[in-house]
Amino acid sequence: MANKKKSRMEYFRKDIEKYLNIGVNIRNIWKIINAELPQHSKITYQGFYKYVKKNLNNYSWDNEENNL
């Protein structure tokens, strides 16, 4: 079985979880994470949102659905 390529966002998973747990909304977390990346590696909001929604199941999405 071949190794699966790791998402760039996996490197920030603990930070994303930390921000979610203290109540920071997804859009602001995206801005914080993107600020740490070089210009050529920026993550789109849509890609970031999909990653968080798919991979961080313990977060309550009720407050975030209107932020798209």
pLDDT digits (tens, 9 = 90+) for 15-68: 999 999 999 999 999 999 999 899 998 999 999 999 999 988 666 555 554 444
C-alpha to C-alpha distance for 24 and 38, rounded to whole angstroms: 23
**For residue 47, what are its two tokens?**
């890609």
pLDDT band per the 50, 70, 90 thresholds, residue 3 = low
Q: What is the reported pLDDT for 16?
A: 94
- 46, 59 contact by CB (below 8 A): no
Task: Tell me the C-alpha to C-alpha distance, in Å, between residue 30 and each of 7, 16, 17.
Answer: 15, 9, 12
pLDDT band per the 50, 70, 90 thresholds, residue 8 = confident
Above 90 in pLDDT, residue 6? no
- 43, 34 contact by CB (below 8 A): yes
* C-alpha 10 chain-centroid distance: 9
- pTM greater than 0.85: no
